[in-house]
Amino acid sequence: MALNELWFLIVGFLFIGYFVLDGFDFGVGMALPFLGKDDTDRRVLINTIGPVWDLNETWVIVAGASLFASFPEWYASLFSGFYLALLLLLAALIARGVAFEYRGKGDTAKWRNTFDWMIVVGSALPSLLWGVAFANIVNGVPLNAHHVYTGNLFTLLNPYGLLGGLTTLSVFFLHGLFFIVLKTEGEIRDRARTLAKKVGYVATVIAASFLLWTLFAHLSLIGAVLTVVAALALIAAQAANFAKKDGVAFALMVVTIIGAVGALFAALYPNVLPSTTNAAYGLTIQNASSSQYTLTVMTWVAGIMMPLVLAYQAWTYWVFRKRVSRKNIPAGSH
């Protein structure tokens, strides 16, 4: 395997890790107005991800840095062309992070409600925009001969892109609900399980439509296998939820996201950013990658550092593995 192919896989792995981990973060954030009947309920929901949300977000930083170092031409065209969409996404992530930190600093209900809605919007908007972005990456965007994006923000809001956004929005919401069921006790857990049953139907229809569209437009054997895996895992996850197999449901949802994002990368390969203006103007793993020396150095660094990062992340989740309930929230705390 050539190093540019290896780094295409590594970039894919990092984005899969980000969507798996920050995906349920986003889902928990979006669940606040649906499951949080009072401030204590909302505290319970926030506490399920409190120790890990910032660690989960570092995956997108590592993915972006790896993209910049391994495929600088892809990074440049992507971040310049998707500038407004990514700016909105970044602003939402910043607002969400600020809300987590400052929600408990005020004593009034208005103060806490304001930051609660910042968490909701800061979770829903990135969930939508990530799907729009990746759908357009796979389907292609208008690039000129210099690999410069010639469209605008509304160019990205095409039917396929919007369907991709709705897919990530609904799947992340369902992913978060399964995580809440896994991490909470009592009535809030029962409400999350019931809501997951309803959201599951919607997510299945939307995700199936998007993946089938992708498969027919970019047919490949690996993409077909991963699409089937994602579909079966999504259906099985909901069956496990009905059977109250919490850990199994969450694990199958992880498989769903791995399969779905993997299918997108399979549909994209060997391109990294196709051009709808002229196929010759598109970016591939060959013309967008860094030099062989750069990729070699990066491979050594990744081989040393990635196992350490994964071990630390696993240790963190093990330490904070216990369920959260209303009895864990001190009376009068915010």
DSSP letters, 56-118, are HHHHHHHHHHHHHHH-HHHHHHHHHHTHHHHHHHHHHHHHHHHHHHHGGG--SHHHHHHHHHH
Report pLDDT digits (tens) over 170-190.
999 999 999 999 999 989 999
DSSP state of 276: S
Work out the pLDDT band at 331, boundaries 50, 70, 90. low
pLDDT of 173 reads: 98
Round the average pLDDT of the chain to a whole number and report it.
93
Span 193-217, average pLDDT: 95
Percent of the chain with pLDDT strictly greater than 90: 83
Please say if the pLDDT value at position 333 is more than 60: no
In a domain, 334, yes or no: no
Please say if the pLDDT value at position 1 is more than 80: no
pLDDT of 321 reads: 87
Of residues 331 and 24, more confidence is placed in 24
Please say if the pLDDT value at position 332 is more than 60: no
Of 99-108, 257-266, 324-333, least confident by mean pLDDT is: 324-333
Span 208-236, average pLDDT: 94
In a domain, 333, yes or no: no
In a domain, 328, yes or no: no
What is the three-class DSSP state of 324? Answer: strand
Work out the pLDDT band at 107, boundaries 50, 70, 90. confident
In a domain, 150, yes or no: yes
1-4: long-range contacts (C-beta < 8 A, 24 or more apart)?
A: 3/289, 3/292, 3/295, 3/296, 3/299, 4/70, 4/71, 4/285, 4/286, 4/289, 4/295
Strands 283-284 and 271-273: antiparallel
pLDDT of 325 reads: 85
In a domain, 127, yes or no: yes
φ and ψ at 286, to 5 degrees? -85, -55
- Residue matched to tokens 């598109």: 282
Contacts of 125 (CB under 8 A, 6+ apart): 88, 89, 92
Question: Would you tell me the crossing angle of helices 109-139 and 187-217 to the nearest 10 degrees?
Answer: 20
C-alpha span between 264 and 259 (Å, rounded): 9
Report pLDDT digits (tens) over 29-61.
999 999 998 988 999 999 999 889 988 999 999
Contacts of 8 (CB under 8 A, 6+ apart): 71, 265, 269, 272, 285
Please say if the pLDDT value at position 323 is more than 70: yes
Question: Would you tell me the crossing angle of helices 159-183 and 246-268 to the nearest 10 degrees?
Answer: 160
Work out the pLDDT band at 2, boundaries 50, 70, 90. very high
pLDDT of 283 reads: 95
Which residues form the domain of 71?
3-321
Preceding omega of 72 cis (within 30 degrees of 0)? no
User: What is the H or E stretch that residue 284 is in?
Assistant: strand 283-284
Q: How far is CA 96 from the centre of its chain?
A: 15
pLDDT of 327 reads: 84
Q: pTM of the prediction?
A: 0.95
Work out the pLDDT band at 255, boundaries 50, 70, 90. very high
Work out the pLDDT band at 334, boundaries 50, 70, 90. low
8 A C-beta contact, residue 173 and residue 30: yes
Both tokens of 243, joined, read: 């059977």
8 A C-beta contact, residue 70 and residue 5: no
Work out the pLDDT band at 109, boundaries 50, 70, 90. confident
Please say if the pLDDT value at position 329 is more than 80: no
How many domains does one find in the chain? 1
Report pLDDT digits (tens) over 127-164.
999 999 999 999 999 999 999 999 888 999 999 999 99
Question: Would you tell me the crossing angle of helices 53-70 and 83-102 to the nearest 10 degrees?
Answer: 150
The CATH code of the domain that includes 175 is 1.20.1630
Q: How far is CA 37 from CA 142, 170, 330, in A?
A: 46, 22, 17
Cα dihedral 133/19/22/87 (nearest 10)? -10
In a domain, 296, yes or no: yes
Cβ count near 156 (within 10 Å): 22
In a domain, 65, yes or no: yes
Q: How far is CA 9 from the centre of its chain?
A: 17
DSSP state of 282: -
C-alpha span between 167 and 188 (Å, rounded): 25
Span 271-294, average pLDDT: 94
